Amino acid sequence: MTRAHYANPDLPFPQKELCMCRYSHQISFTSSAWHSLVQDASDPLAAIRQPIESLGGTLVAAFFTEDSYDVLAMSEFPDVVSLDDISIAFYADGAVATIRSSLLLTASQAHEAKRKSGTRCYRMEARERVLAASAR
């Protein structure tokens, strides 16, 4: 991970950053995926790592949660990846019942987006995809 470069130290935000695109993923597994995980826990994050790597990304961190989602994961990609591509990659294996992914912005990226939009507040909308087959 590269550090932010400050062109003007008096500004509170970096003016230029050399970083990768980061995403957060809230993931719920299917019942069969949980069953497989309990039977063979040798790589509990394989169902998360594989779709991210298939799109050219890297799994940065993953945490099992006690929330409505089973896992909270963070990934990095060298370029922007569409949220639809991320959803399709996760659903293709059949282990994921629900995924909610969001592009993460650094403070300087959010500041720049707000500056470009004028006085309007900038907010990135997260998308949630529910696998119809697992809901039945």
pLDDT of residue 85: 96
Q: pLDDT tens digits for 45-64?
A: 999 999 999 999 999 999 99
Q: How far apart are CA 23 and CA 16, in angstroms?
A: 19
Q: How far apart are CA 52 and CA 75, in angstroms?
A: 7
What's the CATH number for 21-135? 3.30.70
What is the DSSP code (8-state) at residue 36?
H
Strands in 96-104's sheet, in edge-to-edge order, are: 58-64, 71-77, 21-29, 96-104, 127-130
Delimit the domains of the chain by residue range: 21-135
pLDDT tier, 11 (very low <50, low <70, confident <90, very high otherwise)? low
Q: pLDDT tens digits for 93-129?
A: 899 999 999 999 988 888 888 888 875 554 555 444 4
pLDDT of 40 > 70? The answer is yes
A 10 A CB-CB count for 95 gives 21
pLDDT tier, 6 (very low <50, low <70, confident <90, very high otherwise)? very low
